[in-house]
Amino acid sequence: MDRKRKVYAPFSQTSEAGVTQTPVEGYIDVSQMIYPIVNTGVVNEKGQWSGVKSSDTEFKQLGKELQVPNGQAIIAPGGDPGFLDMTGFNDLFFAIKPSNGGDYAIEGVMGPDTNRFANLSPVNAGALLRGSYNDTSAVIASVLADSAEALTADVWNIFVIGTRLKNQKMFQLKITNSSGGNSDIEFGFMRIV
């Protein structure tokens, strides 16, 4: 949008002469152009491009494990890259669709050890994620460890995890079938800024 307006010229010749009152014709025409901008990121202090994060709009890294026996655990997500990176994200939705209803243990674990955590390798893969995830707690505790969550068969059971996993660089979910029988287990994730 193009617009002209008048503004006082503080460095006019009359200002230099010490005139403190606005003289006649102490204003000049200024063209003012307004352009929309889109912020897609910045170049950080190390000279590396860092894009602006946006929430996932769909569940990603969908996977399916077939005929998981009672008492056996699976690690989600599988495939490539085989872990979730929450860098720049605050909250997480995850969804589980079992073919057999009943209890399932759901735990957040570190891993896998085939990837680096920032510049550290190897990591203690499969170990429960631990930390202090609220401002009032001085205790290091398990970040996500549910030993018996009742899931309904053949529908997506959707869970939201608040800031407990915020900015976690590399983690997986360990899902243990405790339903009493074999179960196909589907899963997916959606990250929220």
Q: Which domains does the chain have, with CATH numbers?
A: 2-33 (no CATH), 53-192 (2.60.120.680)
CB-CB contact of 99 with 154 (8 Å): yes
**What single string gives the DSSP state of each residue in 8-72?**
E-TTSHHHHTT--SPPTT-EEEEEEE-------EEE-TTS-EEEPP---SS-EEEEEEEEEPTT-
Asked whether the predicted pLDDT for residue 111 surpasses 60, the reply is: yes
Q: What is the pTM of this model?
A: 0.76
* Residue listed under structure tokens 């983690």: 171
Here the tokens at position 180 are 């009493």
Q: What is the CA radius of gyration of the chain?
A: 28
Each residue's pLDDT tens digit, 7-57: 666 555 555 555 555 555 566 676 777 778 888 888 888 899 888 889 999
Each residue's pLDDT tens digit, 140-175: 889 999 999 999 999 999 999 999 899 999 999 999
Instruction: Give the three-state DSSP class for 121.
Output: coil
Q: What is the rounded end-to-end Cα distance, in angstroms, of the chain?
A: 32
Here the tokens at position 153 are 């068969």
The whole-angstrom separation of Cα 27 and Cα 74 is 73
Here the tokens at position 116 are 């680096």
Q: Which of 108, 110, 39, 114 is nearest to 79 (CA)?
A: 114
Residues 6+ apart with CB under 8 A from 21: none
Q: Which of 88, 90, 87 is nearest to 164 (CA)?
A: 90
